[in-house]
Each structure stands twice: as C-alpha cells, then as structure tokens.
Amino acid sequence: MSADDATFKNAMRLLAGGVTIVATSLHGEKSGLTATAVCSLALAPSRVLACVNHAGRTYELLSKSRIMSVNLLAEGHEELARRFAAKRATQVEDRFADIVWRSSVTGAPLLADALAALDCRVTDIMPLDTHSILVGVVEDIHFGPRGRPLVHFEGGYTSLLSALSESMT
Ligand SMILES: Cc1cc2nc3c(=O)[nH]c(=O)nc-3n(C[C@H](O)[C@H](O)[C@H](O)COP(=O)(O)O)c2cc1C
C-alpha cells in the first residue's frame, strides 16, 4: 500500500527547498530547467545528485552531453525560475536569452549571478520510472554575488526572511 498521490503532493509542498537551474549544452544547443530535487551527495570527489524528468528537452540533452551545471538561485531570481519551469511556447524558444551565462570547464553554461554555480560531469544516470537520478562530479565552482537563496514552499516562491516573518504572525 502507498499514500495517494494528492496527499503525497500536499505533504511535499511543506518541504521548503532551495531552487536551482540545472543546465547543459550539446553541440551549441543549451537547455535547462528549474529543479528543486537536487542535493549534495558526497565528498572526495565532490558529488551532487539531480532528479530529472525524462519527458523534457533538458533530460534528452543531459543524457547525451553528460555535462551539467547546477545553479543556485538567489532572491530576485523568481522570474528566471518561472521561465525555466514554463512550457516552451515554441520549439525554438530560448530560455537563456537576455541573461549573462559564463563559460565553464565542462562546457555546461553557468549562470553568472547564481549564488554558486557548480560545473559537473555526469558519471551515473539511474532511471526510475518517469525520472532519472543523475550523479554529477563537481569539477569547478563559480561563486556569484553574495545574497540570500530563493526558496520554494507551498507551491510558491518566497525568501528566508518572509518565510520567517510569516511563520511568526
Ligand atoms: C519549483 C519547481 C521545481 C521543479 N523541480 C524539478 C525537478 O527537480 N526535476 C524535474 O525534472 N523537473 C522539475 N520541475 C519541472 C521543470 O522545471 C519543468 O517541467 C520544465 O519545463 C522542464 O523543462 P525541459 O523541457 O527543458 O526539460 C520543477 C518545477 C518547479 C516550478
């Protein structure tokens, strides 16, 4: 027996999480998606994991390029988070337009003003139904301007300060 999907979703809405953009590049085509199913995995070597849906364009590219950046978003990046989560209006829509991206060691695009941008080589891809768990060895890290993280909670974007003040009222 397992909990029904709706109850599970209601519970997971209460898990506050940092918001990232997981991005990749293959033969000059860049793709990225907003992701919260990302965490630190291990040290020596430094590794992260990201869970990515097979249905999207980003997974298609990631599985071939085997490089990914994990870009930690700051307060003020809400529009970016929405842009990288929204369905593309057209096949060729460029989610990367009008944003400063840095080049990297692996070739994955790094968001210049992310709190931190982790440049990773994907070593393992573990499929599980609709998603795969991707393990990335972190080859390089770029730190952007200091700031506070963008937080996802109860289906919306918030900040640590407003989450704190709301919980106290
Ligand atoms: C707050 C938030 C978190 C998300 N986290 C993930 C995630 O961890 N993994 C994932 O595959 N999709 C996640 N998504 C959904 C993708 O961002 C979305 O489906 C995106 O359009 C997929 O883009 P693609 O077609 O380039 O793969 C999340 C969406 C939102 C709004």
CATH superfamily of 5-168: Electron Transport, Fmn-binding Protein; Chain A (2.30.110.10)
What is the Cα 69 distance to its own chain's centre? 8
CA dist., res. 55 & res. 130, Å (int): 7
* Number of Cβ within a 10 Å radius of residue 58: 22
Predicted local confidence at residue 88, as pLDDT: 87
Which residue puts its alpha carbon closest to atom 19 of ligand 1?
85
Task: Read off the pTM.
Answer: 0.95
Does 85 sit in the ligand 1 pocket, CB within 6 Å?
yes
Ligand 1 contact, 21 CB (< 6 A): no
88 phi/psi in degrees, rounded to 5 = -70, 135
pLDDT along the chain (169 residues), means of 10: 92 97 96 98 98 97 98 97 92 88 97 98 98 98 97 94 67
CA atoms within 13 A on the CB side of 140: 14
| Residue 45: cis peptide before it, omega within 30 degrees of 0 | yes
**Ligand 1 geometric centre to CA of 169 (Å):** 32
The CB of 18 under 6 Å from ligand 1? The reply is no
3-class secondary-structure state, position 1: coil
Ligand 1 neighbourhood includes 65 CB (under 6 angstroms): no
CB 51 less than 6 A from any atom of ligand 1: yes
